[in-house]
């Protein structure tokens, strides 16, 4: 028998020990018009503009999916796989590949609209806002293209590989690099607004809430930044490095580490609320999906867990046949998550019972993107899949 994820402790905080519903997503996040447009489209289910669906990295889809999913189309890369989550905006799929290409495809039929090639390819998820697509490549360059035509608009050189999917704040784009720096760039010109350097690599995507960014670093700290000043507000020590993107629900931020711990941190008080450990002492590289009733995350111990956001106790777990790097996505009452066993699973949100699976082979490292009644995900065998309902 595999051991359960075991909560280590629960620290009661003033005003933070009772479970309360998360604030409406329409009221959270950036306040600028461009960011509001992105948020509105995501909440309406028309788009999946950033790697975890919204600025708060909740992993919640607002588009329904049919009960029975079928493969509608595929894109096959000849030699290299897809490890990055796609973006879906205005009926287009933006998919970075390790074959060197950023593919832009029709969501309806998978036909190529345009593509852009770099030498080393794209490990990080692209992001789309204001008619522009932003993507960082393995050579450390951040690109901005016209989303409709593929015309390059600007580029910005960092000093390390980019694994961080961009996020947005007002008229700026945020992206992290393995050179240990988070960059804040002007969306229109690529000019540097500010940069913030930590003690080790930045592999997570920055999470944005109420003028703050959350950065979980390879330096074993959660960094909380003031986005208007480009300065750190405070840091919270954690038990090991991490590249997981922090997910926010209400006043709490959730993420796992290479140290086999999963944390809930009150980001207003900058204090750990609870900490849970993998029963097999294995890392968490998956990013969590978060609601007011459950925090759902995959682990290298082959399990997908649902934890109570109030105290971290285990609600359910589901065992796959290999480690889970893919990050869960919640679609109504189902959780969709890939595994390195080559399967994409749908689990019942309340019980964790498997309700559907698709065996593709290879590994699913990327996470699903969901919009307009379709789910798009790629695997390491080099196939990008679009699921939906055949009509």
What pLDDT digit, counting tens, does each position of 93-128 carry?
A: 999 999 999 999 999 999 999 999 999 999 999 999
In the prediction, which pLDDT does 79 show?
A: 75
In the prediction, which pLDDT does 5 show?
A: 57
**Residue 74 CB-half CA count within 13 A:** 12
Please report, rounded to a whole number, the percentage of residues in the chain having pLDDT higher than 90. Answer: 87
In the prediction, which pLDDT does 253 show?
A: 98
What residue spans define the domains of the chain? 6-13+28-388
DSSP, res 26: G
* Mean pLDDT, residues 300-324: 98
**Among 70-79, 292-301, 340-349, which stretch is predicted with the lowest mean pLDDT?**
70-79
In the prediction, which pLDDT does 8 show?
A: 42
In the prediction, which pLDDT does 28 show?
A: 36
Q: pLDDT band at residue 2, thresholds of 50, 70 and 90? A: very low
Question: For residue 189, how many other CB atoms are within 10 A of its CB?
Answer: 11
In the prediction, which pLDDT does 45 show?
A: 78
Cα 134 to Cα 140: distance, rounded to the nearest angstrom: 13
| Token pair recorded at residue 95 | 């998919």
In the prediction, which pLDDT does 39 show?
A: 61
Whole-structure pTM value = 0.90
pLDDT of 153-200, one tens digit each? Answer: 999 999 999 999 999 999 999 999 999 999 999 999 999 999 999 999
pLDDT surpassing 50 at residue 31: no
Q: How far is CA 77 from CA 101, 138, 340, 365, 383, in A?
A: 9, 18, 19, 16, 6
Question: For residue 22, how many other CB atoms are within 10 A of its CB?
Answer: 19
Contact of 304 with 335, CB cutoff 8 Å: yes
Least Cα distance to 121 among 151, 77, 152, 154 occurs for: 77
In the prediction, which pLDDT does 18 show?
A: 27
Contact of 100 with 121, CB cutoff 8 Å: yes
Which helix (H) or strand (E) segment holds residue 38: the answer is: helix 33-43
| Token pair recorded at residue 317 | 């777990």
* Cα radius of gyration (the chain): 19
pLDDT of 211-258, one tens digit each? Answer: 999 999 999 999 999 999 999 999 999 999 999 999 999 999 999 999
The chain-wide mean pLDDT, for the chain, equals: 91
In the prediction, which pLDDT does 368 show?
A: 98
Class of domain 6-13+28-388 as given by CATH = mainly beta
Please report, rounded to a whole number, the percentage of residues in the chain having pLDDT higher than 70. Answer: 89
Name the maximum alpha-carbon separation found in the chain.
56
In the prediction, which pLDDT does 38 show?
A: 54
Contacts of 97 (CB under 8 A, 6+ apart): 77, 80, 81, 82, 84, 103, 121, 122, 378, 382, 384
Q: pLDDT band at residue 41, thresholds of 50, 70 and 90? A: low
């Amino acid at each position: 028998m595999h051991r359960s994820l075991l909560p280590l402790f629960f620290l009661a905080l003033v005003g933070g020990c009772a479970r309360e519903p998360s604030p409406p997503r329409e009221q959270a996040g950036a306040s600028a018009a461009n960011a509001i447009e992105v948020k509105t489209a995501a909440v309406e289910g028309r788009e999946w503009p950033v790697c975890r669906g919204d600025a708060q990295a909740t992993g919640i889809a607002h588009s329904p999916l049919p009960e029975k999913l079928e493969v509608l189309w595929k894109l096959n890369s000849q030699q290299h796989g897809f490890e990055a989550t796609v973006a879906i905006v205005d009926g287009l799929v933006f998919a970075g590949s390790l074959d060197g290409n950023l593919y832009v495809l029709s969501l309806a039929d998978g036909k190529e609209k345009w593509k852009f090639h770099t030498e080393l390819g794209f490990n990080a998820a692209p992001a789309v806002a204001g008619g522009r697509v932003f993507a960082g490549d393995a050579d450390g360059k951040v690109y901005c293209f016209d989303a409709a035509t593929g015309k390059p608009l600007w580029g910005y050189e960092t000093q390390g590989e980019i694994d961080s999917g961009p996020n947005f704040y007002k008229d700026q784009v945020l992206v992290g690099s393995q050179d240990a720096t988070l960059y804040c760039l002007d969306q229109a010109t690529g000019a540097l607004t500010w940069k913030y350097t930590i003690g080790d690599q930045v592999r997570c995507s920055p999470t944005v809430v109420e003028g703050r960014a959350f950065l979980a670093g390879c330096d074993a700290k959660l960094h909380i930044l003031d986005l208007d000043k480009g300065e750190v507000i405070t840091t919270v020590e954690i038990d090991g490095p991490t590249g997981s993107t922090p997910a926010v629900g209400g006043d709490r931020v959730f993420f796992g580490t290479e140290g086999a711990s999963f944390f809930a941190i009150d980001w207003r008080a900058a204090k750990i609320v609870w900490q849970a450990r993998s029963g097999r002492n294995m890392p968490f590289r998956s990013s969590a999906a978060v609601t007011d009733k459950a925090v759902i995350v995959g682990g290298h111990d082959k399990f997908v867990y649902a934890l109570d956001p109030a105290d971290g106790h285990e609600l359910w777990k589901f065992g796959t046949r290999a480690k889970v790097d893919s990050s869960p996505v919640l679609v109504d009452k189902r959780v969709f998550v890939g595994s390195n066993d080559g399967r994409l699973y749908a689990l019942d949100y309340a019980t964790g019972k498997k309700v559907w699976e698709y065996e593709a082979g290879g590994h699913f490292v990327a996470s699903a993107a969901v919009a307009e009644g379709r789910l798009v995900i790629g695997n390491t065998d080099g196939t990008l899949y679009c699921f939906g309902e055949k009509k």
